[in-house]
Structure 1
Amino acid sequence: MAQPTFLQSSLEQLATSECDSLILISDDFSAVEACPLYNEIKQLQQVDQRVGKQVLLTVCQSAPGQRLVLAPTGRINRDYDDVRRYFDAAKLAIVEAKAAGSKAPAIMLLNVPSSGKFQHALSVAAMGACQALWQPLEAREHHGASIEPIAQLYLVGASEVQIKQFNALTAGQYAARDLCGTEPERMSPPKFADYCVDLFAQSPVSTSVIDDIAVIDKEYPMLSAVARASYAVERHHPRVVKLTYHPAGEIKKTLLIVGKGLVYDTGGADLKVGGAMAGMSRDKGGAASVAGFMKAVAEYQPQGIKVVALLAVVRNSIGADCFVPDEIITSRSGVRVRIGNTDAEGRLAMGDLLHELKEQAKTEVNPELFTVATLTGHAARAMGPYTALVENGPALAKQLSYTLAQQGDLWADGSEVSRSRREDYDFVRPRTLADDVISSNTAPSAVTARGHQFPMAFLAIASGLDKHGLDSELPLPYIHVDIAGSGVEGGDWQHGKPTAASVASFFATYCL
């Protein structure tokens, strides 16, 4: 990976550093009298009406490298304004600095409101800059390091603790973008697993990979069904990747997370047609974000929290041996699942892994379970660019989704909370005595009422988590995290940059 290293600095220290440009971000450059560069900015305002209206790079003798970038946030005082104003401003500004030849820019925020929703504005600006700087793994491998020339970023006013946080979080987000945004042959299941092994080599996160098809068939029958048509091509064979972080000292909480890693989703027998298949190499975004969160954990090494992740890395191919609607598959938990639509494959790939972690949760300290996936078009349709959180009763009782969403708002990683309802369980009820649950209806989720909520009910039933609700002897909190709307910029699944959605929310909630 080639993410920049964050460095702590004051404005005065920049003069003796390797810094070669200064990015100033503010909502109003006429109200920054305390800034040492105020006189230069005021003079520039007198001759250039673009100041404060658009990102502007100018020559400034007092700035490092004589490069000064003024990046306005726009208004930040309306009900709907949030910290993403700083994220967006930094994205635009870093592109200008890079185009001007800067290799070690500094970011400084001016006139930041004292309001709580802007308390992490500098962190968010740094995240925005890195979102703009990231280039696809294949591009870096082809063109070399020259396409990502910025190796370090100075953050003016940051503390040492913040710098450690930034570097850990950025490492995780870069890994998530690499894993999500890479084409399906370069990031086939074996290569996805190899990337993870390399990513966590000599780190506090232990890695194990299941690659034996016989073991996968036996232990993960629903994942096996999804992968079945890929068995004819060895380079497409599935992998189950297990990542574990065990901190030193007392464990106070345990996170158990399943990530959907569909390296390519053709739709299977229910083939995606009419151009709908383009971009489906990003259907591994859930597993990518989970691996990214684990990378941030490995770098930051938080105390008191154990994290276990299982990644279902598989290709939903078509062929003579592909699974089809009407099949009944007995899951790892013993639940008989009737297939409704083979394009609803992600919940199958994750279901057996969720059962495995559910069983492990019974003996863990204060466990919380999650599935993270680019699961449904309905999440994108209903929530737009926000992550959808669907929780069970024990999670609702603890307000876990609310906490994740609240932290996401502070870290430019927004979520919307959805309720799991009785209609969702009724939707997947069995229609005959031959099966216990159906995986989906036959229509696309985007045109199905509660299309992103009912899959959580299926996952709960198929994994056996429905036996661990508030009415049980052992309630287990569970949240399904659907990043189908938030996983790439602008909803462009073929060309948009991956956003590493949910990494910042998890990191802020559980590591800081």
Structure 2
Amino acid sequence: MAPAQEYKLYENIFIETNLQSADYDGVVLILYPEEMNVALPRDIGSYIDKINKLDKNIHKVPTVWNCDYVAGQRLVLSPTGKITPYHDVKVVKEAAKKGMTRAMEAGMKRPLIVIKHVVDYSDGQLVSILGTLEALYVPLQMRERQDSKNFIRIGFHAEEKRTEAFERIVRNAIALERSRIVTRDIAGGDPERMSPIKIVEYLKSSFDENTNVTIKVIDDEEELAENYPLLAAVNRAATRVERHRARIVELEYNSSDPNRVTETVMLVGKGVTYDTGGADIKIQGKMAGMSRDKCGAAAVAGFLKACAILKPPHLKVVGVLCLCRNSCGADSYVSDELLVSKSGKTVRVTNTDAEGRLAMADALYHVTEKAGSVLNPHIYTIATLTGHAAACYGSYTAAMDNHSARATNHGSRLQLSGASVGEGFDVSTVRSEDLAVNVGKCMGDDLVQYDTSAKCRNHQLAAGFLIKVSGLEEKNIKYTHLDIAGSAGMPPDEPTAVPVLSLCHLHKVLL
């Protein structure tokens, strides 16, 4: 496996106080709207006033200028564009990303990025650095084929003196980006490079240095059939191909001081490495991009990686990756089959392309059972689950709380965390009818996999199915389902690694 892009403070990432340092071959400046009155570094302000008279376009697209006042005599101006009350800090991230991209296009290998503190965005400096590093991401399969290192040295300049506060921000950003690389590598890998067995190999390598995270892999066919029967059904057409055979991966992060733990975060991620639709095969070109159906499991791994690096003392974290492939073939599971879940509930299959809820169902049941014996649990499912969520919310994540999580105002707090770090959430309410619609229609059926007559609320009823099949309906345990179908990123875009940043922000993983 090609090594991940390593960012190490004081090795290839530096905090720089001198904008004219000879260590850099250019400077990138995020340009805010004039009406925000964001202070510019010394000497640069008058220079920008001058070129603004030459070209008003500097407030619309990234531009490169010859400037004697900065390192390398090259200045990239990357504008945020107009910022309204409806914008959040994502505009800053995008400007930073575009600025770094433009710097690389100009041939810079040692860029220095100006990271100003802007009162409107309390986490703006963190997000700016993350946007900069995001532009540097090189997909795993490119890294494996060739030396694709696209920088030598990166500098971040906040002001003309070094502060502990800014160093902490830089360290947090490096840790978060390393965790997002894990997420993007898994999510973006093609169906063969990131088949279930290959994901296991990648995870073992990625967490090899982290003694605070344990890995357990369940790959025995009989054990999967016994304890994860719905996942086993989805994987049935693929199970005779060794590299495509299902795996359950359990990751567990433990605090160095168990006495300080106040919260247990438990995550179950959909890891369908390729989704053909199964017997209900996808048609009209809709199969392309379905290697991204593992973004939920990838995000679970990324969150655990962030915890492994940043070592939050107050958290215990359990992550379950449900890895399988929804193939088609003579042994495919088909509609009309009656499956028995690990919770004991019978499930009538109605559409084999609604495989994600089945892939996670038994793992969610096991996690729910464990939640009764841990401190202050909060369970998440993360999945590219329904096209309906994308149709409703576009490129934002649909967040659905059960009654216990809603009682703590969790959805609104998650939404605020997302707005703070540039990941958008829309809170969607799970109602009684979203549970009721999943009740079986035929004699002997406890549940239907999916009510094919449903004309609306498809992403909410999927959450309702998960609540019912796992036994959460009868328990007072906080649970949130995150449908990232629209926000995870589809080709040609790289995976977004959503919602790793927001979960880290909400659960106070950062230093």
TM interval, short-chain normalised: over 0.9
Residue 10 of structure 1, CA deviation: 4.4
Is 2:107 aligned against 1:104?
A: no
Aligned equivalents of 2:313, 2:451: Cα separation in 1: 44
Aligned equivalents of 2:417, 2:391: Cα separation in 1: 23
Aligned equivalents of 2:355, 2:39: Cα separation in 1: 57
Deviations 1:115-170 (A, max 9, x none): 3xx11112112222233222221122123224x33553425356122122111111
Deviations 1:241-278 (A, max 9, x none): 11110002221000010000000000001100110100
Residue 422 of structure 1, CA deviation: 1.2
Residue 441 of structure 1, CA deviation: 2.6
Is 2:401 aligned against 1:405?
A: no
Query: What residue is the counterpart of 2:240 in the other structure?
Result: 232
CA contact (8 A) 1:5 1:153 kept: no
Is 2:27 aligned against 1:26?
A: no
Aligned equivalents of 2:469, 2:40: Cα separation in 1: 60
Change over 3 Å in CA distance of 1:150–1:373 after alignment to 2: farther
The 10-residue stretch of structure 1 (40-49 or 30-39) with the greater mean CA deviation from structure 2: 30-39
Aligned equivalents of 1:421, 1:461: Cα separation in 2: 13
Residue 461 of structure 1, CA deviation: 1.1
Question: Secondary structure of the residue that 1:274 maps to in structure 2?
Answer: coil
Aligned equivalents of 2:66, 2:222: Cα separation in 1: 65
Change over 3 Å in CA distance of 1:392–1:33 after alignment to 2: closer
CA contact (8 A) 1:98 1:150 kept: no
The 10-residue stretch of structure 1 (430-439 or 262-271) with the greater mean CA deviation from structure 2: 430-439
Query: What residue is the counterpart of 2:130 in the other structure?
Result: 127
Please show how residues 290-301 of structure 1 align to structure 2 within 5 Å.
Answer: 290-301=300-311
CA contact (8 A) 1:21 1:102 kept: yes
Query: What residue is the counterpart of 2:319 in the other structure?
Result: 309
Query: What residue is the counterpart of 1:358 in the other structure?
Result: 368
CA contact (8 A) 1:175 1:291 kept: yes
1:243 to 237, 251, 267: 251
1:504 to 496, 501, 506: 501
2:218 to 203, 210, 219: 210
Q: Give the partner amino acid of 1:270.
A: D
Deviations 1:360-403 (A, max 9, x none): 11110000001000000001000111000111100000111211
Aligned equivalents of 1:143, 1:202: Cα separation in 2: 24
Query: What residue is the counterpart of 2:483 in the other structure?
Result: 482
Residue 35 of structure 1, CA deviation: 1.9
2:264 to 254, 261, 264: 254
Q: Give the partner amino acid of 2:204.
A: V
CA contact (8 A) 1:102 1:150 kept: no
Is 2:207 aligned against 1:194?
A: no
Aligned equivalents of 1:266, 1:58: Cα separation in 2: 49
Is 2:169 aligned against 1:162?
A: yes
RMSD of the alignment, in Å? 1.8
The 10-residue stretch of structure 1 (40-49 or 387-396) with the greater mean CA deviation from structure 2: 40-49
The 10-residue stretch of structure 1 (269-278 or 23-32) with the greater mean CA deviation from structure 2: 23-32
Residue 61 of structure 1, CA deviation: 2.0
Residue 50 of structure 1, CA deviation: 2.6
Change over 3 Å in CA distance of 1:436–1:465 after alignment to 2: same
Q: Give the partner amino acid of 2:252.
A: T
Residue 21 of structure 1, CA deviation: 2.1
Query: Where in structure 1 are there 5+ consecutive unaligned residues?
Result: 469-474
Aligned equivalents of 2:480, 2:429: Cα separation in 1: 10
The 10-residue stretch of structure 1 (149-158 or 283-292) with the greater mean CA deviation from structure 2: 149-158
CA contact (8 A) 1:105 1:153 kept: yes
Question: Secondary structure of the residue that 1:342 maps to in structure 2?
Answer: coil
Deviations 1:9-58 (A, max 9, x none): 2432x544733321111323695665212232233334333332321111
CA contact (8 A) 1:97 1:105 kept: yes
Query: What residue is the counterpart of 2:96 in the other structure?
Result: 90
Change over 3 Å in CA distance of 1:153–1:353 after alignment to 2: farther
Question: Secondary structure of the residue that 1:141 maps to in structure 2?
Answer: helix
Query: Where in structure 2 are there 5+ consecutive unaligned residues?
Result: 160-164
What is the count of residue pairs matched by the alignment?
Answer: 493
Deviations 1:317-359 (A, max 9, x none): 0111110111111111111111111101011010100111111
Query: What residue is the counterpart of 2:188 in the other structure?
Result: 181
Question: Secondary structure of the residue that 2:284 maps to in structure 1?
Answer: coil
Aligned equivalents of 1:131, 1:3: Cα separation in 2: 13
Question: Secondary structure of the residue that 1:179 maps to in structure 2?
Answer: helix
Question: Secondary structure of the residue that 1:145 maps to in structure 2?
Answer: coil
Query: What residue is the counterpart of 1:456 in the other structure?
Result: 463
CA contact (8 A) 1:8 1:160 kept: no
Question: Secondary structure of the residue that 2:272 maps to in structure 1?
Answer: strand
CA contact (8 A) 1:420 1:453 kept: yes
1:385 to 391, 395, 400: 395
Q: Give the partner amino acid of 2:27.
A: L
Aligned equivalents of 1:32, 1:403: Cα separation in 2: 28
Q: Give the partner amino acid of 2:251.
A: L
The 10-residue stretch of structure 1 (434-443 or 363-372) with the greater mean CA deviation from structure 2: 434-443
Aligned equivalents of 1:507, 1:413: Cα separation in 2: 12
Change over 3 Å in CA distance of 1:213–1:307 after alignment to 2: same
Q: Give the partner amino acid of 2:424.
A: G
CA contact (8 A) 1:389 1:415 kept: yes
2:383 to 338, 359, 373: 373
Q: TM-score, normalised by structure 2?
A: 0.93
2:287 to 271, 277, 284: 277
Aligned equivalents of 1:388, 1:242: Cα separation in 2: 25
CA contact (8 A) 1:24 1:68 kept: yes
Query: What residue is the counterpart of 1:442 in the other structure?
Result: 452
Aligned equivalents of 1:356, 1:293: Cα separation in 2: 20
CA contact (8 A) 1:131 1:499 kept: no
Q: Give the partner amino acid of 1:121.
A: G
Change over 3 Å in CA distance of 1:252–1:197 after alignment to 2: same
